[in-house]
Structure 1
Amino acid sequence: MRLMLTGGGTGGHIYPGLTLLRYLEKMYGSIEVLYVGSERGLEQDIVKRTGIPFVSIPAAGLRRQLSLSGLKTAWTTVRGYWKAKKLVRQFRPDVVVGTGGYVTLPVVFAAAAYNVPSVVWEGNARPGLTNQLCARKAYGVAVCFEDTKKWFPKANKVVVTGNPRASEVLEVDEAQLAAARRQYRLSPGKKLIVCFAGSRGAETVNEVWAKTIPKFAEKPDWQLLYVTGDKHYEAVQCSLSDVPPNVTVIPFVHDMPAVLPQAAALVTRAGSSTLAEICSFGLASILIPSPYVTANHQEENARRLVDKGAALMIRESELTPESLWKALLTVLETNQGDALRRAAKQLATPNAVRDLGALVMEAWETRRPS
């Protein structure tokens, strides 16, 4: 099989595609792959680390309103489409898989121009415009929530699979867990709190943590692993005058699945891949949805867990050192923490990558000679 993967901007669009690729290789043998990403997204670093062939194209978010900036992004998308068509001609994929982000649109549309079947995966409860448009050209759409189907009325086929990350993260072994303990100086005898605000970090969340961290001196049986995001690491370091010994501040974690199973509490955004990991591991979490995303979809994601008693949520507008500390006490020092863990585990989708892989193979079969 010749597979063209696309998706980018944030880790939530990148890691599911990589998980799918590893599954397909495991199940079906050697696969020739080309990853098409955007010129500025995190895929430039994440995908290249894997050694997978990578090409970037121009990509920008489409706007519903007519404006000068809207015309500029439309022109960028057109240039990306032309380059994507050239890549499709040269690589000759059997199937294209798009996992979201602006770059998905020109690649899926280019594939359709040459009658190459595509599968679009949507991780959020409410999809953005890009995937809604791509769905009209795709063989099938995979979603994570049953009620997300309503956003794809013109799609050929919509299947609920869940997030591929839900399957892969459970494959972490004891050697990887031990390596993470050594690397991040995790103490098994302490209650570990892991905090990360998405793959890029978040300024407001970092500001609140800077004021909260000194209180960890009062809780020697707790331990905080605080991941700031590369962009904010230096600023956070400068804002911290006195860091207790049970707090570790780092810019990024590349092996998060080896860290998360050891956490007693997780404080994070509400991206789809993160929620999949929360459910797979049965983690007690405090979700701080990003208010800066399209259609406030992270709060809609978080609601899927909160309404089931599987997570706590603090809106960023309500986030203070006091509200954060109160939530941590609730999770770590009351029975509610155990209730959150049980409810989260019940929402896990361990067969997500298998079901997505089946849809991709089904799309591929439409192109194979009979």
Structure 2
Amino acid sequence: MRILLTGGGTGGHIYPALSVWNYLHQDTNDASEVLYVGTERGLERDIVQRAGLPFMAIHAAGLRRELSLSALRTAFQTVRGYLEARRILKNFCPDVVLGTGGYVTLPVIFAAHGLGIPSVVWEGNAQPGLTNLLCARRATVMAVALPGSERAFKAARRVVLTGHPRASEIRLADDARRSAARQLYRLRPGRKVILVFCGSRGAQTVNQTVLQMAALKLPERPDVQLILVTGQASYSEMEQLAKRSDLPDNVQLVPFVDDMPALLPQVDVVVTRAGAGTVAEVASLGIPAVLIPSPYVTGNHQEPNAARLVKHGAATMLLEKDLTAPTLWNAVANYLSSSHWRQAHAAALELATPDAVDRLASVVLEAASKRS
């Protein structure tokens, strides 16, 4: 089988596609061929090439609803990307195309439709983006991660609920990897672990508030350990601020986590953004979460992601404009109570789809079988 993957801009669009490929690649005993199509401007080239997959770039740009010079430039880039995608598809001759969102998905899915190649488009957020809404009309199957998202795709030929592939991948770390994580992060028996992470680049406002909270509250809580993942770009600045704050030894700063699937299952509470992948991961592991949706994302789509967990009692949402050391501590401390933790843990697991990668891969294989 030949599969063409596309999706770009951020890790939230790239990693789900790679998760499906990893699953299919193992399941088919190296019999499949893959090509990833992205752009030069997003993160996909570096991430995909580090994963060892062949990569080709086309032009793509964010769609605009208004009539303007910028909108005309965007339209030109999209048409150019469509023609480039057609050439790639004709040369590679995939059995199926999987698109996981981002600007690049549109020209590739439109080109696949024009050439009669089956395609699956996957949407991870509660509030779909414009690209996937437009692609849904031309995809063979529209797959969604969250219940209720189906209603946004009334024009699709078929819509299926699969869950988020990262919910499966986060559960795969073996005992040796988990033991290595315990040693690396000095996890101690009897201590409850709070993990704070806001993506590879971190979030300065969150980082600063967490350090203020830690200085105020954690000296009196030796039963708690806090790990703050600052992001590589912010690490030096946060490290200096931490030294001036005279933090206790139960607070640890790290620039990034190399093996999140090994560390996350050993955490009691997380403080994080509400990207679709992150929400799926913490739900899959049943970890109570304090979610701080990013106010800087397109369409404010992280708030609906967080709201779903909050509605079911699995998380607390704090908007960044309301974030202070006291409000953050109150939200975190609530889950340090055993009864509240158990309730949120059970609620999160009810929302989880641990077999999500299997579901989505099955949809992709079924679509590929329809290739004429």
TM-score (norm. length: structure 2): 0.93
Correspondences of 1:75-114 after superposition (within 5 Å): 75-114=76-115
**Between 195-204 and 171-180, the greater mean CA deviation after superposition:** 195-204
Name the structure 2 match of 1:23: 23
Correspondences of 1:279-298 after superposition (within 5 Å): 279-298=283-302
One-letter code aligned to 2:239: Q
Name the structure 2 match of 1:221: 223
**Between 303-312 and 7-16, the greater mean CA deviation after superposition:** 7-16
Deviation, 1:102, is 1.6
Q: Specify whether residues 70 and 185 from structure 1 end up closer, same or farther in structure 2 by C-alpha distance, changes over 3 A only.
A: farther
Alpha-carbon separation, structure 1, partners of 2:37 and 2:369: 22
Deviation, 1:83, is 2.6
- Does residue 1:340 correspond to 2:341, yes or no? no
Correspondences of 1:208-287 after superposition (within 5 Å): 208-215=209-216, 216-240=218-242, 241=244, 242-287=246-291
Q: Specify whether residues 189 and 9 from structure 1 end up closer, same or farther in structure 2 by C-alpha distance, changes over 3 A only.
A: farther
**Between 313-322 and 46-55, the greater mean CA deviation after superposition:** 46-55
Name the structure 1 match of 2:357: 353
Correspondences of 1:125-136 after superposition (within 5 Å): 125-136=126-137
Q: Gaps spanning 5+ residues in structure 2: where? A: none
Alpha-carbon separation, structure 2, partners of 1:67 and 1:251: 41
Deviation, 1:285, is 0.8
One-letter code aligned to 1:88: L
Deviation, 1:137, is 1.3
Q: Specify whether residues 179 and 78 from structure 1 end up closer, same or farther in structure 2 by C-alpha distance, changes over 3 A only.
A: farther
- Residues 64-83 of structure 1: CA deviation (Å, up to 9, x unaligned): 12233333333333333233
Alpha-carbon separation, structure 1, partners of 2:215 and 2:179: 28
Q: Specify whether residues 225 and 79 from structure 1 end up closer, same or farther in structure 2 by C-alpha distance, changes over 3 A only.
A: farther
Name the structure 2 match of 1:67: 68
Deviation, 1:357, is 1.3
2:301 partner SS = helix
- Residues 281-323 of structure 1: CA deviation (Å, up to 9, x unaligned): 1101111111222332211111111111111111112111111
One-letter code aligned to 1:260: L
Q: Specify whether residues 335 and 62 from structure 1 end up closer, same or farther in structure 2 by C-alpha distance, changes over 3 A only.
A: same
Q: Please tell me whether the aligned partners of residues 207 and 228 of structure 2 are also in contact (alpha carbons under 8 angstroms).
A: no
One-letter code aligned to 2:135: C
Deviation, 1:19, is 1.3
Deviation, 1:334, is 5.1
Q: Specify whether residues 125 and 89 from structure 1 end up closer, same or farther in structure 2 by C-alpha distance, changes over 3 A only.
A: same
Alpha-carbon separation, structure 2, partners of 1:267 and 1:39: 32
Q: Gaps spanning 5+ residues in structure 1: where? A: none
- Does residue 1:53 correspond to 2:54, yes or no? yes
Alpha-carbon separation, structure 1, partners of 2:335 and 2:138: 45
- Does residue 1:116 correspond to 2:117, yes or no? yes
Q: Please tell me whether the aligned partners of residues 313 and 347 of structure 2 are also in contact (alpha carbons under 8 angstroms).
A: yes
1:97 partner SS = strand
One-letter code aligned to 1:204: T
Q: Specify whether residues 334 and 186 from structure 1 end up closer, same or farther in structure 2 by C-alpha distance, changes over 3 A only.
A: closer
Alpha-carbon separation, structure 2, partners of 1:114 and 1:68: 31
Q: Specify whether residues 339 and 94 from structure 1 end up closer, same or farther in structure 2 by C-alpha distance, changes over 3 A only.
A: same
Deviation, 1:118, is 0.8
**Between 238-247 and 26-35, the greater mean CA deviation after superposition:** 238-247
- Does residue 1:180 correspond to 2:184, yes or no? no
Q: Specify whether residues 231 and 111 from structure 1 end up closer, same or farther in structure 2 by C-alpha distance, changes over 3 A only.
A: farther
Q: Aligned-pair RMSD on alpha carbons?
A: 1.8
Q: Please tell me whether the aligned partners of residues 288 and 344 of structure 2 are also in contact (alpha carbons under 8 angstroms).
A: yes
Q: Specify whether residues 157 and 200 from structure 1 end up closer, same or farther in structure 2 by C-alpha distance, changes over 3 A only.
A: farther
Name the structure 2 match of 1:38: 39
Alpha-carbon separation, structure 2, partners of 1:306 and 1:213: 24
Q: Please tell me whether the aligned partners of residues 11 and 199 of structure 1 are also in contact (alpha carbons under 8 angstroms).
A: no
Alpha-carbon separation, structure 2, partners of 1:182 and 1:357: 35
Correspondences of 1:355-370 after superposition (within 5 Å): 355-368=359-372
Q: Specify whether residues 237 and 41 from structure 1 end up closer, same or farther in structure 2 by C-alpha distance, changes over 3 A only.
A: farther
Q: Please tell me whether the aligned partners of residues 10 and 200 of structure 1 are also in contact (alpha carbons under 8 angstroms).
A: no
Alpha-carbon separation, structure 1, partners of 2:64 and 2:209: 32
Alpha-carbon separation, structure 2, partners of 1:37 and 1:181: 36
**Between 358-367 and 331-340, the greater mean CA deviation after superposition:** 331-340
Name the structure 1 match of 2:11: 11
Q: Specify whether residues 71 and 224 from structure 1 end up closer, same or farther in structure 2 by C-alpha distance, changes over 3 A only.
A: farther
Alpha-carbon separation, structure 2, partners of 1:234 and 1:67: 42
One-letter code aligned to 1:357: A
- Does residue 1:313 correspond to 2:317, yes or no? yes
Alpha-carbon separation, structure 1, partners of 2:133 and 2:55: 25
- Residues 243-267 of structure 1: CA deviation (Å, up to 9, x unaligned): 4322222222232111110001001
Q: Specify whether residues 222 and 58 from structure 1 end up closer, same or farther in structure 2 by C-alpha distance, changes over 3 A only.
A: farther
- Residues 192-248 of structure 1: CA deviation (Å, up to 9, x unaligned): 111111343223222322322323333222212211223333343343323432222
Alpha-carbon separation, structure 1, partners of 2:254 and 2:73: 37
Name the structure 2 match of 1:302: 306
Deviation, 1:270, is 1.0
Q: Percent identity?
A: 54
